[in-house]
Homo-oligomer: A and B are copies of this chain.
Amino acid sequence: MTTPDPDGLLAEQLLRLTRRVHRIQKRHLERHDLGVTPAQSRLLRTLAHYASPPRMADLAERLEVVPRAVTTLVDGLETNGKVRRVPDPANRRVTRIELTDEGRTTLRELRGARRSAAEEILAPLTEKERQVLGVLLNTLIEGDGGQRC
């Protein structure tokens, strides 16, 4: 009742914050000069979560993008020597994506950039507030993916 459109406002804040997060992330990445774009950084981190090299399609699903988008990202990372495409002997349609040693090194350095970016973004929040925010964001993320359709 305080505002006429509180939810729209919330979405607005979210989008605004988003732009800032992107900017800050990009700046910190450039500062560390790892030769990796934000989206590539995300793919690298995702890659680290797998026990064995995932397929392109696996990555696409995990990143919530169409497979074609993964191709471009892997192209960039591969030319920079961060990842390697390896054919799957069992199914010749699939190509699996492996982190190279250089990719693993980059990933470690990336963690610093990521941490400092997060710190800059979250500076205004106390530890407890961050926890609350984390829970809320998680609810939003989980809520959609699991229940719809």
Contact = CB atoms under 8 A, between A and B. Distances in A.
Interface of A: 5-22, 25, 42, 45, 64, 111, 114-115, 117-119, 121-125, 129-130, 132-134, 136-144, 147
B64 A6 contact: no
A45 to B, nearest CB: 8
B17 A137 contact: yes
Where chain A touches its partner, the secondary structure class is helix
Given A15-B42, A21-B14, A130-B6, A139 B124 contact: yes
B7 A140 contact: no
Contacts of A114: 5, 8, 11
B137 A125 contact: no
